[in-house]
Amino acid sequence: MITAVVRYTLPPQIDHAACREHFHKIAPNFREVTGLISKHFIWSEGGWAGGVYQWERIEDATAFYTGPWLEGIIQRYGMKPQIDFYEVFAVTDNTRGKVELFEEALPPNDPE
């Protein structure tokens, strides 16, 4: 499993209410994204917004963050987003009373 944290600064005209409204509008569009397990739409008082995505595979994530999605982010927010990828080793899900342990998804960095 892969987690991607995507962040971008909001332009001044997009306040808390406008960001929330937009996220509520687009959230259903992510139901059919290939390989996407979940997306948390995030906002902070510091002027940042974005998403925390859970992906089945890194290939699905990197394919998604190009083309129309990237163009839409740049058009709406005026910047390329910061995207950080993380391999997920384990998940504790208290709502389901479950702990999941994952096998290696990304090749480890070779120190040589």
Q: What is the pLDDT of residues 28-78, one digit of tens each?
A: 999 999 999 999 999 999 999 999 999 999 999 999 999 899 999 999 999
- Interacting residues of 19 by C-beta distance below 8 A, sequence separation 6+: 10, 43, 49
pLDDT band (50, 70, 90) for residue 112 = very low
| Mean pLDDT for the stretch of residues 8-30 | 96
Record the pTM. Answer: 0.86
CA pair distance 75, 82, nearest whole angstrom: 15
CATH classification (class only), 2-101: alpha beta
Predicted local confidence at residue 105, as pLDDT: 56
| Mean pLDDT for the stretch of residues 13-34 | 96
Domains in the chain: boundaries: 2-101
Supply the mean pLDDT for the chain: 92
Predicted local confidence at residue 103, as pLDDT: 82
Question: How distant is the alpha carbon of residue 42 from its chain centre?
Answer: 9
CA pair distance 23, 47, nearest whole angstrom: 15
